[in-house]
Amino acid sequence: MTPSFTEILRQHVNRADYRPSTKSELARELGIDSRDRAAFRQALKQMEESGELVCGKRSRYAPAPKGGGPGEKLTGTIFFPAGDKRRHGFFRPDPDQLERPELREVEGDLFVPGRFTATAMHGDRVAVKLTRKPAPKWHRHVKGRRDRITDDDESLEARVIEVIERGARRIVGTFRQHGRYAHLFPDHPSLPSTFNLEGDLLGARSGDKVIGELIAWESPHLPPKARLTEVLGRPGAPGVDILAVIHRYGLPLEFPKAVREEAEELPDAVDDAEEIARREDWRDREVFTIDPEDAKDFDDAIFVHEFHSDEGAGWELAVHIADVSHYVKPGSALDKEAKKRGNSVYLADRVIPMLPEKLSNGLCSLKPEVDRLTHAVVMRFDAEARQTSARFVSAVIRSRRRFTYEEAIARMNLTRGEIDHLDPLEASLGHHLKRAWELARRLRERRFQAGALDLDFPEVRAVLDEKGRAIDVKRSEYDESHQLIEEFMLAANEAVARETKNAQVPSVYRVHEDPDPDKLMEFSFQAGGYGYRTGDVTIRAELQKVLRAIRGKPEEHALKIALLKSLKRAHYSAEPLGHYGLAKLNYTHFTSPIRRYADLVIHRVLRRLCASRTGESADPTPNQGRLAEIAKHISETERVAADAEQETRQMKLIEYLVRVSGEGEGRTFEGVVYDVRPIGAFVELTDLLIKGLIRKDDLPGGDHYRFDSARNRLVGRYGKFQLAVGHKVRVRVVRVDRSRGFIDFRLEQ
């Protein structure tokens, strides 16, 4: 039997005298006939994809290294950036493999070139082999500047050799039929561009939004196979757009039966006299809440009073948090489902809660004029707003008032004389708000003096009608009422983190690691494009100077988003690594157990710690290893929720933009150029905070424009017209791709 080209190559490259050779050199060395070159190249490609051969410097092929170095199989998860048609991916090794010798030099995820991703899909668990690839002669560190790298520098790459387990088999997309052939075109840009459909088509019509299930993907050279499982409906039908997002991200629409039954067994009100007697009674105190207008789950309530003693004057702040842990016990159906969900998800038209409504909007929500159980942090601050003590108590409260942020800021803006003319309860609460803001203001000042970054900015959301259609927009300013609650929640979270850390008990922390200096320099370059002179932004004080300089400017939102992209993403960890953005050594999440599983875990940890000091009993808490697993899981669920929330909000803002842009002769919008590329100028609308592109081809006058990368601008012929970062413009909508969220503007002069 004549050996295959694969076997011939295997024997040749494993000879003792073999030296790495190019594709052409191998063909000559083996005497491959020109008629067999295509089959020979295919065999070479398959051996490379399987990891048996490595293509190294100057495209020379060598056997993959054996035993412990690059080339040995690793397992982990593969991710694909959205919109990359070349299917380049990134491999994240399993935690138990991070100590492998070949990974010690690796920081972050490993690059997987598109030609080596095989049949892997986003989120799949895969096996890979590592290879060394020469780094390019030129490497771009900072936009507009390139640094030379020698040919001797190498980098590690991964190539998929096996798909171990599919991360998700559900595909949401658009159904198309051509004769007897049916296809599913997925919405998610990281998936293969098309799936061949088999089986029952469920009456779907071309253009319908549908859900499919992956059957198989046998070769990267052929489309994957899928079958339809559900037809959502026509793209423009009410609610279909949001349903498509829900299914695409795998968000749950219902609670399992066991969870619903367990929730129904809970009481409708706080009426356990024995439990109330066991707790500190705060029902006669002026406790109140401040929340968004449309909120129903009130996690937190506050109480502030000034005191004077022999040691001096100061404030006492009590932050009362709904005691979810009293009702949701470890290992229960409610607990398992909450852990699985990780957090509530706030979409444009609905909330997908972490806990059933009986808990989230009922028994645990700190509504006014009803008894509620809380876990409280009671802190004392001196006259300079330095914390002097903190204690942690189980309490019962009866909230006196539910303020919306709008109501709170209106009350805070009244003079003391105007407040005195209100009825007695409202007047008392008005003075309470004034007192609370005085403490919050000083806490805020101290935080920024310590190096915290001011990354707060207004938010714009679409207002929907009863059918889920965008009919208006609402802008939410980050005013003093928001800042008041933020500072008190930060203080409580920090106090809890310090307590668990000093006690050296296993816990979960909210961490934000120090940023990559190169990423910060990229931000510095972008700020320079707006005309701002920046110092060394790796120094926190210099970064704060930039943030102060852009405050209130049209480009503030765009530059703050750019800075956020330069920073690492905050996440949960079993290690107290500190929080860069907040400039805190100790930080956790304690204040929202109705909507975040992390906070529920922290409540249990803190209660067990307090119980151990008094000899009382408390629910068990996970060990360090288990908490590390929980932290990783809830970090992932948080990321999924954030992406889904952002997508639905952007979707509805675009829907509103499309509707109003066609009114009359066509509405125009003010915007600011926040980036310029060879393709055109990117603009952010000042009022709606929606981003879009003025394509170079759509610029007025039919002029020829060149891209000036040094000054981040487009320059017309003879320099008569310029469009640069920071320019204020007026634009009109000309094209919208709703499925991808792309908008093209035309410049109006």
pLDDT for 208-255, tens place per residue? 999 999 999 988 888 999 999 999 999 989 899 999 999 999 999 999
Report yes or no: 564 and 581 within 8 Å, Cβ to Cβ: no
> What letter represents residue 204's amino acid?
A
Q: What is the pLDDT of residue 357?
A: 95
Tallying the residues shown for the chain, one arrives at: 749
- The pLDDT of residue 139: 43
Check residue 42 and give its pLDDT: 84
pLDDT of the residue at 131: 80
Distance CA 130, CA 64 (A): 9
Could you report the per-residue pLDDT of 400-409, keeping only the tens digit for each?
999 999 999 9
320 shares a domain with 407:
yes
Residue 724: what pLDDT? 85
Q: What is the mean pLDDT of residues 329-357?
A: 96
Q: Are 296 and 329 in a shared domain? A: yes
Q: Name which residue leads in pLDDT, 706 or 352.
A: 352
Could you give the 3-state DSSP secondary structure of residue 210?
strand
Same domain, 507 and 584: yes
Alpha carbons 682 and 691: distance in angstroms, whole number: 7
User: Residue 18: what pLDDT?
Assistant: 85
In 3-state terms the chain splits into helix, strand, coil percentages (rounded to 5) of: 35, 30, 35
% of the chain at pLDDT higher than 90: 61
- For 403-441, letters b (16+ CB in 10 Å) and e give bbbeebbebbebeeeebeeeeeeebebbbbbbebbebbe
**Residue 108: what pLDDT?**
72
pLDDT surpassing 60 at residue 151? no
pLDDT band at 140 (very low <50, low <70, confident <90, very high): very low
Question: Buried b / exposed e across 522-546, counting CB within 10 Å, b at 16+?
Answer: bbbbbbbbbebebeebbeeeebbbb
Task: Reply yes or no on whether the pLDDT at 71 is more than 60.
Answer: no
Residue 680 within a domain: yes
* Last residue in a domain, options 615, 650, 685: 650
Of 533, 566, 599, which marks where a domain is finished? 566
Q: Determine the pLDDT at residue 51.
A: 64
How would residue 94 be classed by pLDDT, with cut points 50, 70 and 90? confident
Q: Where residue 68 falls among pLDDT bands split at 50, 70, 90?
A: very low
In a domain, 305, yes or no: yes
When pLDDT is averaged across residues 619-647 and rounded to a whole number, the result is 94
Average pLDDT over residues 658-675: 82
Q: Taking residues 101-110, what's their average pLDDT? A: 72
Based on the fold, state whether residues 391 and 478 are members of the same structural domain: yes
Q: Which of 139-153, 241-255, 309-323, 588-602 has the highest mean pLDDT?
A: 588-602
Residues 549 and 694 in one domain: no
Report H helices in 450-581: 480-503, 517-529, 540-550, 556-566
619 shares its domain with 683:
no
Does 722 map to a domain? yes
Which of 196-210, 231-245, 687-701 has the weakest average pLDDT? 687-701
Domain count, the chain: 5
pLDDT at residue 706 in the model: 85
Domain termination site, one of 64, 86, 118: 64
pLDDT digits (tens, 9 = 90+) for 450-466: 999 999 888 899 999 99
Q: Regarding predicted confidence, which is higher, 92 or 378?
A: 378
| Per-residue confidence (pLDDT) for residue 150, from 0 to 100 | 41
**CATH number (domain holding residue 38):** 1.10.10.10
The HSE-up count of residue 614 (CA atoms within 13 Å, CB side) is 11
Res 369 pLDDT > 90: yes
Q: What is the pLDDT of residue 26?
A: 87
Mean pLDDT over 373-394 rounds to 96
Same domain (yes/no): 218, 351? no
Helix, strand or coil for residue 244?
A: helix
Assess if residue 529 is contained within a domain.
Answer: yes
Which is more confident, 142 or 518? 518
Report percent pLDDT > 70 for the chain. Answer: 92
What per-residue confidence (pLDDT) applies to 726? 84
Same domain membership, residue 544 and residue 611:
no
CATH code of the domain covering residue 177: 2.40.50.640
Q: What is the pLDDT of residues 11-51, one digit of tens each?
A: 888 887 888 888 888 888 888 888 888 888 888 887 876 66
Structure tokens at 196: 């061949």
| CA-CA-CA-CA torsion sign (335, 337, 342, 348) | negative
- 525: containing domain: 517-566
Q: What is the pLDDT of residues 526-581, one digit of tens each?
A: 888 888 889 999 999 999 999 999 988 888 888 898 899 899 999 999 999 999 99
The average pLDDT across 74-91 equals: 83
- Domain membership of residue 372 (yes or no) is yes
The average pLDDT across 707-735 equals: 83
pLDDT number for residue 138 = 41
Q: What is the pLDDT of residue 145?
A: 39
Angle, in degrees to the nearest 10, between helices 624-661 and 597-614: 150
Average of per-residue pLDDT values in the chain: 88
535 contacts: CB under 8 Å, gap ≥ 6:
542, 545
Residues 624 and 666 in one domain: no
The verdict on residue 96 lying in a domain is no
Contacts of 240 (CB under 8 A, 6+ apart): 209, 232, 233, 234
Look at residue 501 and tell me whether its pLDDT is greater than 90: yes
Average pLDDT over residues 352-373: 96
Domain assignment present for residue 558? The answer is: yes
**Based on the domain organization, do 439 and 356 belong to the same domain?**
yes
Summarize the confidence of residues 350-377 as an average pLDDT.
96
- Which position has the higher pLDDT, 137 or 562? 562
C-alpha to C-alpha distances, 492 to 379, 405, 506, nearest whole angstrom = 8, 20, 19
pLDDT at 358: 96
Which residues, other chains included, contact 234 with Cβ-Cβ below 8 Å and sequence gap of 6+? 207, 208, 209, 240
How would residue 269 be classed by pLDDT, with cut points 50, 70 and 90? very high
- Per-residue pLDDT for 373 more than 50? yes
- The arithmetic mean of pLDDT across residues 326-347, rounded, is 97
Say if 741 falls within a structural domain. yes
pTM: 0.83
Mean pLDDT confidence for 321-336: 97
Q: Quick one: pLDDT band at residue 152, thresholds 50, 70, 90?
A: very low
Torsion angle of C-alpha atoms 262, 265, 270, 273, degrees rounded to 10? -120
Whether 634 and 553 map to the same domain: the answer is no
What pLDDT is stored for residue 144 in this prediction? 41
pLDDT higher than threshold 50 for residue 137: no
Q: Could you tell me if 671 and 627 lie in one domain? A: no
